[in-house]
Structure 1
């Protein structure tokens, strides 16, 4: 058996193990896992595009809801030198897997201190750091409107003015839930969609459709507005949060 075959078999085995891990965790709690399979390569690349766009200057990057590390593995090789990556994952089994990834990834052999895994919810992340890019893998459409409000407010708080948030949503989930879920569940999903539409109207810089993912997904890039002269930094964050809360209040 040659070296290429051995390496190829190892990659396939790793992907199979990752898929099974994801499936097991989805069976435990689909609400917080969000899918039954990790993000595909095309989706990971679309989510991490703002990191490549800002290279080669050093960046502070946050990945929230990293799961088994499918997006993390796409992200690490693109980190400019002297950058910082904080990875947030609440699931303890996923977090343990991410720590192993960080300690064994060849691109991090000479700079392990630049990447840290935090087992927590992003709303509870204890840090004074502000980020140039936030990559969100959280299944926002699986949460309640109030939870989405807290997550989005925290994202904007953690972003530098002018920083970019990237996140994804699977195609057709609202229609599928309208046909198969209870009325309360369909209303919850619709309310979350309206909250996110508010942020899209005010902050979106682009949307891409990733057909190669299973299932296909939209990727959104949102930019936190720069702080305007004469306005405190918190004003821009609160303005988006108040508008989104008003959407929820009308439900």
Structure 2
């Protein structure tokens, strides 16, 4: 499936400049030198029910995904955004009043998440999973699925057409992956995957 959009993109040149500066300062904490496109954000946000439980976003960056999540109608007090980069976290805090910004590693996010275990309908991830070790991937997914309610999904994008998660990690955690779609308009093209508990997909 290829993403389509009719509205004018809302990301700006200032987003790119801020993202590039963050990447230059701390390249290992920033997935790409280009912010996610509105089309990618819309496909990921489409997996959210604005009338359901809270949402956790991992890797807020300049807020490109955050804007699309809020555009679904999800109340701001039901969104928490994790961003470990100090400068980007400050800018997210200033730009998204009412959204809780958490500057903490995703590998141990349960201790900081306000909603508590089993409360979240979705985790939306912009983290560079391909750059993470299997141990890091397993830690992040373990934390996420502690927070996710039954039936909840971990939504991840990647610049590869294949899943960024190592197979042993998925098997160890008894999860299942589905390909949601590919956004060719993104630079570079991006594919979105949904991860769920195997028990929820049977």
Q: TM-score normalized by structure 1?
A: 0.66
1:149 equivalent to 2:138? Answer yes
Instruction: Classify the secondary structure of the residue corresponding to 1:203.
Output: strand
Listed one character per residue, the Cα deviations across residues 37-89 of structure 1 (whole Å, up to 9, x for unaligned) are: 100011111111111xx34x232111111111000011112134586111111
Count of residues in correspondence between the two structures: 188
| Residues 168 and 218 in structure 1, CA contact (< 8 A), matched pair in contact too | yes
Deviation digits for residues 201-243 of structure 1 (CA, Å, limit 9, x no counterpart):
942244311111000111001223557xxxxxxxxxxxxxxxx
Determine whether 1:66 maps to 2:63. no
* Residues 169-221 of structure 1: CA deviation (Å, up to 9, x unaligned): 102799xxxxxxxxxxxxxx9xx543466489942244311111000111001
Number of the residue aligned with 1:164: 153
State the shift of 1:160 in Å: 0.7
Query: Deviation of residue 15 (structure 1)?
Result: 1.6
Give the structure with the higher percent helix: 1
> Could you list the runs of 5+ residues in structure 1 that have no partner in the other structure?
1-7, 104-111, 175-188, 228-251
Q: Does 1:123 align with 2:104?
A: no
* Matching residue of 1:249: none
Which structure 2 residue ranges, 5 or more long, are not aligned?
1-7
Runs of 4+ in structure 1 off by over 6 angstroms are none
1:15 aligns with 2:12: yes
Alignment TM-score, normalising by the size of structure 2: 0.80
- Which structure has the higher relative contact order (CA within 8 Å, separation 6+)? 2
